[in-house]
Structure 1
Amino acid sequence: MSRDRHLGTATIDIMGTGMAAYRRLLAHPTVRSVLVLGFMIRVPVFASFIVLTLHVVTGLDRSYSAAGLLETVTTVAMAVAAPWRGRALDRIGLRATVGPMLVVLVVVWSIAPFVPYAALLVLAAVGGLANVPHYSVMRQALISAVPDADRKAVLSLDALGTELSFMVGPVLGVVAATRLETSWALLGTQLVALAGGVGLWLANPPLVREETAAVATDGEPATGAGAVAARDRAPAGSTSDVPPGPLWRNPTVLAVLFAGTATTIVLTGTDLGVVAALRHMDQPGSIGWVLAIWGAGSALGVLVYGALHRPVPLNVLLALLAATTIPVALADDRLSLVLLLFVCGLFCAPTITAASEALSRAVPEGSLGEAMGWQGVAFTIGGATGAPLAGLVIDHGGWQGSFVAGGVVALLAAGAALALEAGRTRARVQVPRRAGA
């Protein structure tokens, strides 16, 4: 009993300290403004996705396949542009990168709601290429605003805001698309999202730390190479052991991106699996609130994760996500499905957050925008792979297969990441031995 009381007291102390960190971060003016701005941008962005689908299906009287093709075109265009958008953020800054995009997007989405389907495909592709990289910008701004010790907590707050946006945005999108003509609903949601982009351009939050931005020698820019130089001059312990060279030659970066792809495969498979399961149980009307409970579990999980003192390794979180996703296949009614989904949801946002944190520590500060762009590509690949994989196993093995397949992929990815990390550890140990021999 005494031991249990001590354990409970220690847990309360740790969580209390973590919540104090949240209060401290929310009192930080830059952190607070970035989080609020991020919520204001992401809600209409999530709303616009559902409105775009409803516009194709009801407004243009096309099939769901046509709506899916439009979403694929938009997503692929965003993924193609993500690395160079991130590189532009690193090299020329936020305003010079985002300003031209906003002009293009205003033109595109002022026209797109009122054109036939074929023209909409073209305009959506252009809009995807010019999409404002709010994901990269928000996370870069938050990372640069806080000490390294608060990085996990502040990224967890951002993930929490994303989960809340995901829970609110689609609902507002459905309301807008059912009460207005879909063309006007699409115009409205896109213009509100663009207003958030303008707010981001006006706020212009710093994307690198003050000591990095202060470095400008021999005409060297404050970002890019200058950012790397400042990072090299930073005090010991404030940066990670970053190997030189292109990002794609960094094994840690590749491992994190691979883990991000596997995570998205799991989440996509779970999303489709829930729809298939509830249809099989003759409960299609429950899809919305069941997914919301899954999201609530994810929000709670990331809130707890960010309050922890010690970070949980990415491969461990990925394994836990897999281990809690596979049992969802055992659900035999709606109640058990909801409970199992809530449990696996606890590890969704923490895994994504851990991936972003690991990636931010694996690259120089001056390359963070490019790295976040590549992470967007990894997530896109995961979604593009997870959807057909889940559909295939659902068609041939029932809805349970989507949870099992996604979990197995995540377990394999976690094992591969663990093996890679073990190999790097052995290599670091062997090099000093050979040098001393």
Structure 2
Amino acid sequence: MSLRSYREVFAAKGAVTLFATLMFARIPLVATGMVMTLHVVLGLKHGYAAAGFAAASVTIGVAVGSPLLGRVLDSAGLYKLLVVTAAAEAAFWGFAWMLPYGALLPAAFVSGVLALPVMSVGRQAVAALVPIAQRRSALSLDSISVELTYMIGPALGVWLCTTLSTNIAMIAVGAAMVLAAIALGVLNPSIRRGDEQVEEARPPRRTWLRGPIIGMFAIGIGAMFTLTGAELAAVAMLREGGEVGWTGLVVALMCVASATGGIIYGARPSGISPVILLLVLAGLTVPVGLAGHDWWVLAIVWFPSNLACAPTIATYNERVMALAPVQARGEAMGLAASANTLGLAIGQPLIGAVLDAAGPVWGFVASGAGGLLLAGVGGILQMSRGRDQPRGAPEVRPQIDAG
């Protein structure tokens, strides 16, 4: 393994500033779920089911809005997109703490539709920073950065809610979102490389939204389904064994595993098929429940599957970018984000039902089985790759076939 590829990424002009800005911008984003949950439970005095519906409202809104905002990015540019989404974030988080539960649900949905798309925008900016040959390393670094934000954001949200108040936490999230949008606007990163500034008309959706890229979306759904299901199963396993207090440490160790896998993968000279990576991620998740209830044993047994987490997400986004025409890349990445969101939205209630009916061991089995099934779907759809070269991105065809 050589770290030269990472040195080359960081040597790119503005790379350090971009990664630092994206990490700051994503912290409030990953804190929103925890803050919303605790606000409903602690602030509005409702149960966890009600909190789940509120979180689901945001999730569904994000799934609907991501491709729409991606299309706005393609046609109107980053600056106008940031103005619209920052205003929406300020309006929702600045006033949501005053809303009764009945009004919070539709407002949360609208906020999800107009949520600051810092994940998809960030990945496009990172990819535009470097030549195609370095894209895998750059996106691996981006996935590692996301893992770090997941170690910081939810914990910070819990601290704000429990130390200060849920109302202050809601306002703080909104303020941080607006600051993130301002920071991105000031930085104004390019979302296309210089040689991708094409003048051709946007190709019709039917010319690129076909088998290969739909197969990638199946991979995105499967990855998130497996990851969120396994996390729920782990919480249930630790709770059943009376060791729920170790949950935070176990999840943090899984983030370390994912980051480690991302470092190794990004330093490779060639890529690996996202289908294979999802098969590894999901296949190694199936037997995790056999680890038992000791937190440290669970962490050891769960560690190998999480090594494939960041590589799967990185190569998933890399392939979506390669398969989409340049003129529609924002919409394609929005659809990729919606696929991830859909995986979460399906996985949480389905695996929750399995946990209620059969226990945590079968929760891990179901999480992995779902991922394996969707990897198979993605693999079948990939077989049509040779027939559907998208217009507007002929230079990326060798990338699609690599690895």
Is 1:207–2:191 an aligned residue pair?
yes
1:34 is matched by which residue type in structure 2?
L
Distance of 1:249 and 1:361 partners within structure 2 = 13
1:374 is matched by which residue type in structure 2?
L
The 4+ residue runs of structure 1 with deviation greater than 6 A are: none
Is 1:35–2:7 an aligned residue pair?
no
Distance of 1:181 and 1:45 partners within structure 2 = 18
What's the offset of the Cα at 1:358?
0.9
In structure 2, stretches of 5+ residues that fail to align are 390-403
Aligned to 2:278: 318
Aligned to 1:232: none
**Structure 1 residues 248 and 79, CA gap change in structure 2 (3 angstroms):** farther
Aligned to 1:103: 87
Aligned to 1:241: none
Distance of 1:420 and 1:115 partners within structure 2 = 45
2:46 is matched by which residue type in structure 1?
R
Deviations 1:118-152 (A, max 9, x none): 22223222221211111111111111121010010
- Whether the 8 Å CA contact 2:214–2:381 is kept in 1: the answer is no
What's the offset of the Cα at 1:291?
0.9
Aligned to 1:67: 51
What's the offset of the Cα at 1:207?
1.1
Distance of 2:116 and 2:169 partners within structure 1 = 20
Deviations 1:102-130 (A, max 9, x none): 12322222211122222222322222121
Distance of 1:421 and 1:59 partners within structure 2 = 47
* Higher mean C-alpha deviation, range 23-32 or range 397-406: 23-32
* Other structure's SS at 1:29 match: coil
Aligned to 1:366: 327
* Other structure's SS at 2:14 match: helix
Aligned to 1:126: 110
Deviations 1:326-368 (A, max 9, x none): 1202112322211011111101111111111111111112211
What's the offset of the Cα at 1:421?
3.4
What's the offset of the Cα at 1:415?
2.8
1:302 is matched by which residue type in structure 2?
G
What's the offset of the Cα at 1:414?
2.4
2:228 is matched by which residue type in structure 1?
T
What's the offset of the Cα at 1:167?
0.4
1:408 is matched by which residue type in structure 2?
A
Which of the residues 322, 342, 345 maps onto 2:303? 342
Aligned to 2:240: 280
1:308 is matched by which residue type in structure 2?
R
What's the offset of the Cα at 1:426?
9.8
2:256 is matched by which residue type in structure 1?
A
Which of the residues 241, 246, 260 maps onto 1:300? 260
- Whether the 8 Å CA contact 1:314–1:354 is kept in 2: the answer is yes
Aligned to 1:175: 159
Distance of 2:28 and 2:166 partners within structure 1 = 15
What's the offset of the Cα at 1:281?
0.9
Distance of 1:102 and 1:398 partners within structure 2 = 42
Deviations 1:252-271 (A, max 9, x none): 10100011111111011101
Distance of 2:18 and 2:347 partners within structure 1 = 31
Deviations 1:385-410 (A, max 9, x none): 11122112212221011111121122
1:98 is matched by which residue type in structure 2?
L
Which of the residues 176, 196, 199 maps onto 1:192? 176
- Whether the 8 Å CA contact 2:208–2:324 is kept in 1: the answer is no
Distance of 2:150 and 2:161 partners within structure 1 = 17
2:358 is matched by which residue type in structure 1?
G
Aligned to 2:393: none
Kindly, what percent of the aligned residue pairs are identical? 36
* Higher mean C-alpha deviation, range 245-254 or range 339-348: 245-254
Which of the residues 356, 359, 374 maps onto 1:398? 359
Question: Which has the higher Rg, Structure 1 or Structure 2?
Answer: 1
Deviations 1:169-192 (A, max 9, x none): 111111111111210121012211
Distance of 1:188 and 1:317 partners within structure 2 = 37
* Higher mean C-alpha deviation, range 93-102 or range 305-314: 93-102
Which of the residues 212, 216, 220 maps onto 1:260? 220
Distance of 1:93 and 1:315 partners within structure 2 = 32
Aligned to 2:392: none
Distance of 2:176 and 2:385 partners within structure 1 = 47
* Other structure's SS at 1:206 match: coil
Aligned to 1:234: none
- Whether the 8 Å CA contact 2:94–2:170 is kept in 1: the answer is no
1:170 is matched by which residue type in structure 2?
P
Aligned to 2:370: 409
* Other structure's SS at 2:190 match: coil
In structure 1, stretches of 5+ residues that fail to align are 1-14, 229-243, 429-437
**Structure 1 residues 282 and 411, CA gap change in structure 2 (3 angstroms):** same
- Whether the 8 Å CA contact 2:86–2:178 is kept in 1: the answer is yes
- Whether the 8 Å CA contact 1:247–1:371 is kept in 2: the answer is no
1:86-97 → structure 2 map (5 Å cutoff)? 86-97=70-81
2:7 is matched by which residue type in structure 1?
R
Distance of 2:40 and 2:350 partners within structure 1 = 25
Aligned residues: 388
Deviations 1:277-306 (A, max 9, x none): 001111111111111111111111111111
Distance of 2:255 and 2:370 partners within structure 1 = 21
**Structure 1 residues 149 and 402, CA gap change in structure 2 (3 angstroms):** same
